[in-house]
Amino acid sequence: MQNLQANLESTQKPEPDLIRPLGSTEHLFWLIDRNRSIHFTLVAEIDRVFTPSAWDAALLALQQRHPLLGARIVADGVAAPVFRRDPGARIPLRVVENAQQSWQVEAAIELSAPFDWSNAPLLRVTVLQRASGSTIVLAAHHSVLDGMGAAYLLEDLLRALAGGSLTPLPVAPPLESLLRTQMDAAAVSGAPTPAPQAKAFRPAVGGRAELASLALSAQLTRAIVERARSERTTVHGAVAAAVHEAGRRISRTWRERPVRTVSPIDVRATVGGMGRANGVYITQTITVDEHPRGAPFWDAAREVKALLAPAQTHASVVQETKALDGFIATNPSIEDDAGFLSHVLAFDVLLSNLGREPIASSYDGFTLNALWGPMVSSGFADDQVIGVCTLGGVLRLTQASYNAMPGLLGEVQAVLGDAVVV
């Protein structure tokens, strides 16, 4: 009887290291990452150098602010996976003084080095320091952060470096918890339409991500923004249309069939309740471009906007989240998840856009000069991951791939340049 009572008391005790269960998208990314790594990097350039101890102190402040930065993922094969706190975990930091390698090389190395999800933390930082300033290469497991969350995290890091105080945040619920009432009332959507052809994964071992980057001029950036507005579309629509047209000029495969693009959609403003917390707060929408090479550019850009618009409504976010939550409730295997990625999403392009001036540029004593990415290791053999961010009036593009389309970003720039000529 005493043993039974002890067992009951044991099961009723709170688990002090439990943070929260993974949300459905976080769970999906955890499974996909176990098939092929899908972590990502974000790169920030500032015009100041700091001592290693200053970087350490800022990262510690960051961990104390964000509960998931001390987390590992725990799964027993029966219950849903959870984030658990490891009180002794510290964000790995590597500071390279008088750095000779480019950030592109360092970011490619980071993309090619998977995370061990069972060990905390699920974030690491490399700092390349030169006399002119520092470049921060942040790498994150995709279950603990999305692209916008990583940008907000970098802003917090820069605030800490500038001497600001970071207030600890409460644990934010996963997206499904925030939408539970609306999800319960929403209709069940039909099964997703499979892609015409399954997408092949890259080899499980070997290979290294290839990265490229390009900054448009401030003049061209301004012209794209103004022309997109007058053409009743968005910069995202224009960049997507330019990537598709540039790819058709380079690749026969893209000329012979429609191009499939997935656009992550940040839902923080649409849903609310999570603020700038870590976690995954996105939906993902596929658009299909069936235009031939040389099709009217702004027609294609308007079509991208029109195809994405329904997915940005609150009702659509609820519907998509409910559908994914239902899929995860079936306890899918790694193979099931890989099949969903390969047969349903099956994208040629992942277009991840942080938008215009997503975080502050000016800090006490230094300036954020550039923000690059997100650069994502998607798992496919030949997709092109395009990161987009406009900071300081300059639109910056990155390309990440295990089979990079050569010259793609330069061709994108040429397409955009031609498109804004009056």
Q: What is the 3-class SS of the chain, one letter each residue?
A: CHHHHHHHHHHHCCCCCEEEECCHHHHHHHHHHHHCCCCEEEEEEECCCCCHHHHHHHHHHHHHHCHHHHEEEECCCCCCCEEEECCCCCCCEEEEECCCCCHHHHHHHHHCCCCCCCCCCCEEEEEEEECCEEEEEEEECCCCECHHHHHHHHHHHHHHHCCCCCCCCCCCCCHHHHCHHHHHHCCCCCCCCCCCCCCCECCCCCCCCEEEEEECCHHHHHHHHHHHHHCCCCHHHHHHHHHHHHHHHHCHHHHHCCEEEEEEEECHHHHCCCCCCCECCEEEEEEEECCCCCCCHHHHHHHHHHHHHHHHCHHHHHHHHHHHHHHHHCCCCHHHHHHHHHHHHCCCEEEEEEEECCCCCEECCEEEEEEEEEEECCCECCCEEEEEEEECCEEEEEEEECCCCCCHHHHHHHHHHHHCCC
Q: How far is CA 149 from CA 118, 120, 138, 156, 235, in A?
A: 21, 18, 12, 11, 21
Query: How many CB atoms lie under 10 A from the CB of residue 53?
Result: 9
pLDDT recorded at residue 11? 45
How much is the pLDDT for 5?
A: 41
Report pLDDT for 13: 52
pLDDT at residue 206 in the model = 78
- Among 58, 60, 80, smallest CA distance to 70 is for 60
pLDDT at 77: 72
Q: Where do the domains of the chain lie?
A: 18-174, 176-351+383-419
Phi and psi angles of residue 4, each rounded to the nearest 5 degrees, phi first: -60, -45
Using alpha carbons, select from 419, 406, 383 the residue that is nearest to residue 300.
419
- Same topology, domains 18-174 and 176-351+383-419? Answer is yes
Token couple for 213: 């980057």
The pLDDT, as a whole number, for residue 365 is: 96
395 vs 393: CA distance, rounded Å: 7
Distance CA 370, CA 375 (A): 15
CATH H superfamily, domain 176-351+383-419: Nonribosomal peptide synthetase, condensation domain (3.30.559.30)
- Tell whether domain 18-174 is in CATH 3.50.50.60: no
CA–CA gap between residue 419 and residue 140 (Å, rounded):
36
Q: What are the phi and psi torsion angles at 86 (to 5°)?
A: -115, 100
Alpha carbons 49 and 55: distance in angstroms, whole number: 10
Cβ atoms of 138 and 125 closer than 8 Å: yes
pLDDT one digit per residue (tens) for the chain, 422 residues? 444 344 433 444 556 799 999 999 999 999 999 999 999 999 999 999 999 999 999 999 999 999 999 999 999 877 789 999 999 999 999 999 998 889 999 999 999 999 999 999 999 999 999 999 999 999 999 999 999 999 999 999 999 999 999 999 999 999 999 999 999 999 877 778 889 999 999 988 878 899 999 999 999 999 999 999 999 999 999 999 999 999 999 999 999 999 999 999 999 999 999 999 999 999 999 999 999 999 999 999 999 999 999 999 999 999 999 999 999 999 999 999 899 899 999 999 999 999 999 999 999 999 999 999 999 988 899 999 999 999 999 999 999 999 999 999 999 999 999 999 96
Instruction: Give CA–CA dist 148/358, Å, rounded.
Output: 8
Find out whether 140 and 107 touch, Cβ atoms under 8 Å: no
Supply the pLDDT for residue 14.
55
The token pair that represents 241 in the structure block? 């249309």
Residue listed under structure tokens 């340049």: 417
Residue 173 corresponds to which amino acid? P
How many Å apart are CA 346 and CA 256, to the nearest integer?
16
- What tokens does 356 get? 């215009």
Peptide bond into 67 cis (omega under 30): no
